[in-house]
Amino acid sequence: MRVVLTREAGYNERQRDWLTGHAHVDEVPLTTTLPLDQEIVDAQVAALSARHVRYIVVSSARGANCGARAARVLGAPLLSVGASTSAALRERGLEVRAEAASASDLAPLVDEGPVLSLGAAETRPELADALAARGIETLHVACYETRALELTEAQRDLLARGDVVLIGAPSAWALAREHVAASAWVVVPGETTRACVRRDHERVLVGWSSDLATRLASLGPESAQ
């Protein structure tokens, strides 16, 4: 079994450890993340003090530093998207009020606003739309931007030959989808990315965890999710 890891360089080691000894693993980073100027981000957060933000939503582990700084300034409880985000916040000594697999799944847990969303410069609309439908305002402060990497012919070939491709975000799938074989399984961390991949690809498995090798070994046509 050939597995292709596609997260940013330096962020694939945990997944590689899960698969060592169980699969041939290749790495094809699809994106790179650039942090935005911290002083500008801090100023944008500080300017929201008068808005009495009720909740802070951190959408990825890369936004954990921003989440920690915002929580200390605004004093609002933290909500996180995904276990890795929660872990990154707790590593910084912070309490996570609630965690969900996708941003939209956090919406029912919010009873009042405004809500501050922290994450990528290009944020997905699901949470803001769900809250807006209930009359709750969402504010967004970008902490980083994600940029696509230009793939070499060899990297495109690795994607095409992968039996399993791990895709961590919709932005990564946008770059990979034309190269991934229809027969390949795409493994995603949560429901937001699953929904995006399923628009173009049948074989999708949710779940990045230490039992990934066991789950991949049991995959068959009837297992598609």
> Which residues, other chains included, contact 191 with Cβ-Cβ below 8 Å and sequence gap of 6+?
101, 102, 104, 105, 206
Residue 182, SS3? coil
What the block records as the tokens of 89 is 């916040």
Alpha-carbon span 195 to 92, nearest angstrom: 31
Q: Do domains 2-30+150-223 and 34-146 have the same CATH topology?
A: yes
| Domain regions of the chain by residue span | 2-30+150-223, 34-146
pTM to 2 decimal places: 0.77
CATH assignment, 34-146? 3.40.50.10090
Helix axis angle, 64-74 to 83-91, nearest 10°: 60
Residues of the chain with pLDDT under 50: 221-225
- Position 153 scores a pLDDT of 97
Which of 121, 102, 108 shows the shortest CA–CA distance to 55? 108
Q: According to the model, what pLDDT value does residue 220 have?
A: 56
pLDDT of residue 62: 87
* 79: nearest Cα among 67, 60, 96: 96
CATH number of 2-30+150-223: 3.40.50.10090
pLDDT at 72: 94
